[in-house]
Amino acid sequence: MRGAGIPLSSTSETNTDALISDQASINASHPAAETRSLTLILVRHGETAWNANGKIQGHLDVPLSDVGREQARRLGRRFQSAFSPTTPQPLLPHFGKTPLSIAAQFSSDLARAQETGHIVRDAVPTLAEVPLLSTALLRERNFGEWQGLEAEELRLRRTGGNNEPPNGETEVQVFERMSRALLYVFANTPTVEGGSHRNVVVYGHGGSLRVFLCLSLGLGAQETRRFRLENTSLSVIEISGIVHSGKLEIRNGRFVCVNETAHLLLPEFSTPG
């Protein structure tokens, strides 16, 4: 995928009015060719009751559980430490010991991702000043008739290794949609004079955020299974590309970390009863 233009058009069945509106936002931004470099801080949403029970959520709007909200609060405290003007604790060693700066925030429009983002923002006054843009482009995969099923039920329904849910999105369609989501993030992150590197937070879902990881290294749709993202995990990628004529041409990308959950491993973290 690196070096190839990512077009706006797609055959994905997820082309709702919300997606059309987001595409219009992309078209209206950055009409001239422009090289940009972003560090994407990818955050998977906190746990839901369906996560805990192994049920497939997809596009179903399942809220965070008490456990998920506590996970998000823990992540919020981690961000809060990184923003301290006097004694900042790096979010990750990659960011150094200077206070963290965030240029933009994006979220899936599903409740579990938005609530995670708002809990983190509420913990950090500086971060709360940065708008959180929600978009249907960042949704989890539409699993169609598999949504609501538990793992054993799904195993009985799948035959011959079939990985394409009836009346849902194919892997290729999800990849195309997330390519447009990446373009949306690039097009809607404020620029600064000189085009310096910018840090961006993206709140999303395990399946769809794995596509961002693949896009950054030019991997195909089948490669998403290489990665696993836990609830409220941090995955950081550096990616540069050229935005022009409604397309994003990816020039370079690298992983900083994948599935980092140190904020959940401290002794004081406990699961609410």
DSSP assignment letter at 150:
B
Q: Is residue 30 part of a domain?
A: no
Closest by CA position to 188, among listed 200, 197, 178 = 200
In a domain, 186, yes or no: yes
What is the tally of structural domains in the chain?
1
Residue 197 in domain = yes
Query: What is the share, in percent, of the chain residues with pLDDT greater than 90?
Result: 57
Whole-number Å distance between alpha carbons of 113 and 64: 9
Give the CATH number of the domain where residue 121 resides: 3.40.50.1240
In a domain, 5, yes or no: no
pTM confidence score? 0.85
Does residue 110 contact residue 117 with C-beta atoms inside 8 Å?
no
pLDDT in tens, the chain (273 residues): 344 343 333 333 344 455 545 554 554 455 557 788 999 999 999 999 999 999 999 999 999 999 999 999 999 999 998 888 777 788 888 887 778 899 999 999 999 999 999 999 999 999 999 999 999 999 999 999 999 999 888 888 877 667 789 999 999 999 999 999 999 999 999 987 655 679 999 999 999 999 999 988 888 877 888 899 999 999 999 999 888 888 888 888 999 999 999 999 876 544 443
**Per-residue pLDDT, 74:** 96
| DSSP letters spanning 177-214 | HHHHHHHHHHHTSPP-TT---EEEEEEE-HHHHHHHHH
Instruction: List % helix, strand, coil for the chain (3-state, nearest 5).
Output: 40, 20, 40
pLDDT value of position 268 = 58
pLDDT at 15: 42
pLDDT, tens digit, 9 for 90 and up, residues 31-64: 557 788 999 999 999 999 999 999 999 999 999 9
How far is Cα 13 from Cα 232, in angstroms, rounded to an integer? 28
Residue 9 placed within a domain: no
> What is the Cα–Cα distance from 19 to 9, expressed in whole angstroms?
11
Domain that holds residue 130: 14-23+37-239+250-264
